[in-house]
Structure 1
Amino acid sequence: MKKLLLLFMLCLSFCTGMYAKTIHWLTFIDTTDRNVGEIDKSSRQLLYSRWIDLVNTTLKDNGYSVNIVDIYDSNTSPENCKKIVNSFNCGSEDIIVFYYIGHGTENTGASKYPLMLMGQLDANKFIPLSWVHDTLKNKGARLTVTIGMCCNARQGVAGRITPTFGANYGNTYVSEELSNCIKKMFLNYRGNVLITSASPNESSWACDTTIGPTDYFTFSLLDQFNNELPETSNPTWDSMMESIKEDVYNNVRNNVYIQNKFPGSTQTPIWETHLTSASTPTPTPPDKPNTEDVSDKSDMLNTLSNALAYISSTKVSAKERIVMAEKLEKAFDNNAIVRIVSQDGNLVLHKENISIYLGRIATSRLLENVTVVDATGTTNKISSIRVREIYKKR
């Protein structure tokens, strides 16, 4: 694995001028809980395919590489969270987004923002969401967003809602309106945003949708970015959160199952923004992220995703894209297979040999971005990868 990482870093040395800034995603998701683990697994998949992939695709054209710290299953622990947050480093033009999905409890007498259980029940180890936010915002990034989707209740799927978008078993597309919205939300501000999905003494409720089980807050966030904000001329974090607050509150109050079982239940997201207007950033080399707390595979997936994003970018000359593709191919077995999967459900749409695939994306004028979902192989060579392709909606 170390050899692969070294090869990828050599490949990426060709695109340091284009990717001088980084968007860091720190996601901590408790997928092992007996009551809500399956819901959180679905939420994790939706969060990446319906939000993170789309944001990364848009910001790529503004010079941003991607660093994903994806913590789930048994890796979700207070020790891991504390270590990663404390040791994290970034550049002054970087963007940080922290997103927690799991159990939580009120931080009584200390903060209106909750304590995160992080996959265990020892109260002495609970992590304050406010501590994570304060620590990350002091790293000096351009924009820091901290989101905690948690409560102190243990519940399963509670009722059903009709989503405003259905499951997509084809390729992912990003519209010009959505792209412009993402740029305004992530690049037009400096500062920090702290969000939690419920007020003190409230639960965060799960819901079932046509795109899979998730929670009301995450679903509303995805709905905002996929449907509502692209129709807004001047979207802001505060206006978005006002809409999410109203949607989540009304959905819980109107859910017959919840109200019959827990009469009077409410869920009211709370947040605070400390933002100033800013112009689109210019490329500046960031500090190298500290990834000692992340597995080699996570590093490999990040580096591989950034390399494929470069090869598929229409902002790079055809000659440079082909040169990068030829170098990257050396990290794969000759018979390595690329599986292109759908936006939802990970349905395999197509399979290609690595040589054919790299040649295709290096000469494509339609592809916007490629995200690596998973990769397998030996110490020296990769034998297969699964990717999602994102296209510009015409």
Structure 2
Amino acid sequence: MQVEMKNVTNKIKTICNLIDYDEDFHCLDGTLCTKENLKTVLEEMDVEENDVILTFYGGHGSHAPNNENDPWPQYCMNTGFEDQENWVPMAALANWVQVKRPRLAIILSNCCNVVQRATTVKPLWAMGGDYTSLNGVNADNYKKLFATKGLVMATSSKIPEPSWCNSAAGGLYTCDLIEALEMVGAGKIAPNWNTVLQKAYDLCAARVIIDKEGTRHKQHPYFKVTGGQVSITDNDRPRPDNRPRRDTNPLSQALLDIVNKKTDQTQRLSMIPDIASRHFDSISKVMTVGSDMETVVDYENPTDFLRRICLSPFIVQVNVISQEQGVLTVHEIRTR
């Protein structure tokens, strides 16, 4: 679901900035969500020994009968039952990722372990209609979480359960996982993957889900963490040239540059005409949305938007959420 992908994208981009990691983001949505495209993206990755690869799948999933030795679902991708040769088993994806030899591999999914559709209530965490505040967020906790080595796998339901969702917020387990990650930043739970996934499990398993017919259901995620020990220290993390972190998306990089408080504000203001001409030629409006990815906080022309985020003393990051029909949708991260 689009809102689910927006929520996950926003959270991962925010964490990347907090832990000061370079970012190479790929989204395979709609007709682009194919087995062939997924394998191509992975094969073309240039992975170094301290890199982290994180994948997230949100969509239809299934599980073969009489195959309980494999607890993980199969991703249906952009196909139906008549085209199962193009489905991707989650366990196979984990193997493809590990072939690239990243320091840490994180494979997450929100999909059924049987085929079933469902909707339910919107979770409370997604009610926010404003920007994301970093006030009270401890970046060091996220640095510890992502400094580990190993394989992390989690899916939203065990065999043979469906995974429940809501049209306004996406998969319920995805919401629980994001809430658990937010608790890491707030210091409410320990920064290790077993703790994070156990908390997401507890939140999900405690929920009583009532479908449109009034039938009550429960959902139990499944996860496994291999390794998990801290493998890099603070001395390993800084880049040799002490440069700012980089984003492989040119527009996202331009927005990082214009809110980078280490650069003189006058110099950043002088960047606006060039950024506007290079990246906003096909964009007529910029829509800033709240943390629910739906509430419109601001609606501006590109130049006004660029000037505002440049002059703001509190905006430290602007996440690109989507770009379609001449409108760029973004979400702001502020210190307060």
TM range (shorter): 0.7 to 0.9
Equivalent residue number for residue 340 of structure 1: 288
User: Are 1:202 and 2:149 an aligned pair?
Assistant: no
Equivalent residue number for residue 102 of structure 2: 141
Query: Secondary structure at 2:186's aligned position in 1?
Result: helix
Alpha-carbon shift at residue 351 of structure 1 (Å):
3.9
User: Are 1:243 and 2:186 an aligned pair?
Assistant: no
Alpha-carbon shift at residue 143 of structure 1 (Å):
2.4
Equivalent residue number for residue 255 of structure 1: 209
Alpha-carbon shift at residue 172 of structure 1 (Å):
2.5
Q: In angstroms, what is the RMSD of aligned CA positions?
A: 3.2
> CA 1:52–1:109 in structure 2 vs 1: closer, same or farther (change >3 Å)?
same
Q: Deviations over 1:298-339 (max 9, x none)?
A: x7xx21011111220223344653454453233145995433
1: distance between equivalents of 2:132 and 2:286? Answer: 17
In percent, how many aligned pairs have the same letter? 20
> CA 1:190–1:307 in structure 2 vs 1: closer, same or farther (change >3 Å)?
farther
Q: Deviations over 1:132-169 (max 9, x none)?
A: 11221332333221112222222221x436x4435222
Alpha-carbon shift at residue 98 of structure 1 (Å):
0.1
Equivalent residue number for residue 18 of structure 2: 58
Equivalent residue number for residue 365 of structure 1: 313
| One-letter code aligned to 2:4 | S
Alpha-carbon shift at residue 217 of structure 1 (Å):
1.2
Equivalent residue number for residue 224 of structure 2: 271
Kept in 1, the 8 Å contact 2:190–2:196? The answer is no
Kept in 2, the 8 Å contact 1:78–1:117? The answer is no
2: distance between equivalents of 1:369 and 1:335? Answer: 20
Alpha-carbon shift at residue 384 of structure 1 (Å):
5.5
Kept in 1, the 8 Å contact 2:285–2:301? The answer is yes
How many residues of Structure 1 are paired with residues of Structure 2 in the alignment? 322
> CA 1:370–1:135 in structure 2 vs 1: closer, same or farther (change >3 Å)?
same
Query: Secondary structure at 1:271's aligned position in 2?
Result: strand
Equivalent residue number for residue 26 of structure 1: none
Kept in 2, the 8 Å contact 1:144–1:193? The answer is yes
Kept in 1, the 8 Å contact 2:176–2:204? The answer is yes
Query: Secondary structure at 1:361's aligned position in 2?
Result: helix
1:110-149 alignment runs, 5 A limit:
111-120=70-79, 121=81, 122-149=83-110
User: Are 1:160 and 2:121 an aligned pair?
Assistant: yes
Equivalent residue number for residue 177 of structure 1: 137
Query: Secondary structure at 1:81's aligned position in 2?
Result: helix
> CA 1:215–1:325 in structure 2 vs 1: closer, same or farther (change >3 Å)?
same
TM-score normalized by the length of structure 1: 0.71
2: distance between equivalents of 1:334 and 1:93? Answer: 37
> CA 1:55–1:76 in structure 2 vs 1: closer, same or farther (change >3 Å)?
same
Q: Deviations over 1:325-379 (max 9, x none)?
A: 45323314599543333332444433444344334433432111012234469xx
Q: Give unpaired runs (5+ residues) of structure 1.
A: 1-39, 286-298, 378-382
Alpha-carbon shift at residue 73 of structure 1 (Å):
1.6
Q: Give unpaired runs (5+ residues) of structure 2.
A: 242-247
Equivalent residue number for residue 35 of structure 1: none
